[in-house]
Amino acid sequence: MTVYNFRFSRAVRGLWAPAGALLVAATVIAPIAALIWHAFGGDLTHWQHLANNVIPTALRDTLILLAGVGVLVTLLGVGSAWLVTAYEFPGRGILHWALLLPLAVPTYIMAYSYLDILHPIGPVQSTLRDWLGYSSPREFRLPDIRNMAGAILVLGFVLYPYVYLTMRAMFLTQAANLLEAARTLGARRPEVFRRIVLPLARPAWAIGLSLALLEALNDIGASTFLGVKTLTVTVYTSWTARSDLAAAAQIALTMLLIIVGLILMERRGRARQRFSNTQRMQPMRPRVLHGPAAATALLLGFLPILIGFAIPATYLVMEAWQRLHKMGGVSDSLISSLVNTVLIASLATVVTLAAGLMVAWASRTLRESAWRQPARTFARIGSLGYAVPGTVLAIGLLAPVMLIEELLGGLLGGQRLFLMGSIGLLVIAYTIRFLAIPIGAVEAGLTRVPASLEHAARTLGERPGGTLRRVHLPLIRPALAASALLVFVDAMKELPATLLLRPLNFDTLSTWLYAEASRGTYEEGAVAAVAIVLAGLLPVILLARANLSYGR
């Protein structure tokens, strides 16, 4: 009887890891499943109305925006990556990491900044009128950027680093002997770049482009500010303005089809990566530039940094300083928003790290058992949330949470749990949205831990939980710290899910900025924008350090 109880308790202890991973995977799948159920379970006349009056316009604008952003991030990302890899010139060492700086500026802050900078009574147009001798905006004004072209430019100059990162990594791994062989056969440099370099780097381009387009699809702030009615904006207005959950779910389902297409594009590009991994016999030698050619290369390299980071960041700092100087400090509402932001981001970071660690560790410990394939499947499912826009995730969470609240409320004698519109719901949304970050980081960290250490601990009688606490956690602490920083900053910047799921009278820095920009009081939101950009610089600095070490 004692042996039976021991075996039973050991079996139960061995199931907690797959059970936890299954719970996390189910939490990620539930919003998507509920979204599909709610879209087809409601009044189907919505489909006809949306198909005739709403979706065509929103889908057209979304596809035009994605196409324009795709072209721009390709030109900027591929061009800058090739510039700093294939050429040597003064300032190249700074460009290596400075080209990543636009990642610190969320898209809605970029749009917010340029709307104020290029406003008819803003600094640019006022200065131009003074130079040209005009006294009124009615006499002279630049074209309004609140259109599709403005949205493409804003999003493109923020999101190009995704393509830059993947393409530069690929260019660094390309063997110089292939390029030299092409030059020996008489091919000119442009032809070598077009016929050899780009085809070999196509998988990296597909990965970077898909990431940039997923971020563009998730955007709601920049599109709203610039007057582009994308599917994301339509989902938000359908729920907030008309309280039409069925319509919002049906439009969100249309967005999921685009997301599936982008993921398939990325998978196809990654599947072809085996054709681009040539043996690295000798690193590519950059061509040394001098004189006007070096100055031109430096100017071209700094142009994306200037537009995507330097101008908006400098302007925000100036506006924030003027705001603080005039008012003698920040308002109580802004301080409350800052406290709320740190609170919700901290809670989301703790929960997301715990869930990601559970899923990744289950994949590690169950690799030699019958649960190996299910654990790997749970890890892949857990990573899907990063590809789902915040608006889609928020709409998908509403139905499961309402169902849970109703069921648990009935068990508790009709007592309401107030899950809807609570901080807990926001934490769940952030966890699903950013779960891929700790899963990937912890899995990468665990692969560097020799299996012999784990076997030695088990041989000495240590249980799996003790092995995790005393062996794995100390060794993967850097990976946990890096993923915690990324999750914290991403949670601070998240706007779409926060707008839809935040409690009443609960503002974060991102929603405070969105509200101020919607009212046209740009100077009030400058302080919040600076705080978000400063927080965004932290992971960019870590990424730049890793990028520099990889390029050496």
**Residue 158 forms part of a structural domain:** yes
The CA dihedral of 326, 332, 333, 337, to the nearest 10 degrees, is 110
Q: How many Å apart are CA 384 and CA 389, to the nearest integer?
A: 11
- Of 441, 145, 182, give the one whose Cα is nearest residue 312: 145
Specify the pLDDT at position 410: 65
| Centroid of chain to Cα 332 | 30
Cα Rg, the chain, nearest whole Å: 26
What is the secondary structure of 214-282 as a DSSP string?
Answer: HHHHH--HHHHHTT---HHHHHHHHHHTT--HHHHHHHHHHHHHHHHHHHHHHHHHHHGGGGT----SS
Quick one: which H or E segment has residue 523? helix 522-551
Residues 250, 47: contact at Cβ < 8 Å?
yes
Burial (Cβ within 10 Å: 0-12, 13-18, ≥19) of residue 414: exposed
Specify the pLDDT at position 66: 93
Entry pTM: 0.83
Q: How many Å apart are CA 479 and CA 309, to the nearest integer?
A: 28
**Residue 274 forms part of a structural domain:** yes
**Residue 206 forms part of a structural domain:** yes
**Residue 7 forms part of a structural domain:** no
| Centroid of chain to Cα 33 | 23
Helix ranges (DSSP H) in 383-521 = 390-411, 423-434, 436-447, 451-459, 464-467, 473-475, 477-493, 496-501, 509-519
Please give the average pLDDT of every successive group of 10 residues along the chain, which has 552 residues: 42 55 74 78 67 83 94 93 87 88 89 87 83 79 88 94 86 64 62 69 81 88 89 84 75 82 69 49 72 91 93 88 74 84 91 85 65 67 76 82 73 61 84 84 73 68 67 75 84 87 85 80 77 84 66 54
Residues 479, 312: contact at Cβ < 8 Å?
no
Q: How many Å apart are CA 320 and CA 538, to the nearest integer?
A: 20
Q: How many Å apart are CA 379 and CA 444, to the nearest integer?
A: 13
CATH number of the domain where residue 314 is located: 1.10.3720.10
- Of 520, 531, 516, 511, give the one whose Cα is nearest residue 122: 520
Q: How many Å apart are CA 105 and CA 305, to the nearest integer?
A: 11
Contacts of residue 440, defined as CB under 8 A and 6 or more positions apart, other chains included, come to 383, 483
The CA dihedral of 312, 511, 331, 110, to the nearest 10 degrees, is 0
Specify the pLDDT at position 175: 53
Quick one: which H or E segment has residue 80? helix 55-86
**Residue 396 forms part of a structural domain:** yes
Q: How many Å apart are CA 137 and CA 131, to the nearest integer?
A: 13
Q: How many Å apart are CA 220 and CA 234, to the nearest integer?
A: 9
Q: Quote the number of domains for the chain.
A: 1
Full residue range of the structural domain in which residue 221 is found? 15-551
**Residue 240 forms part of a structural domain:** yes
Specify the pLDDT at position 276: 45
**Residue 3 forms part of a structural domain:** no
**Residue 110 forms part of a structural domain:** yes
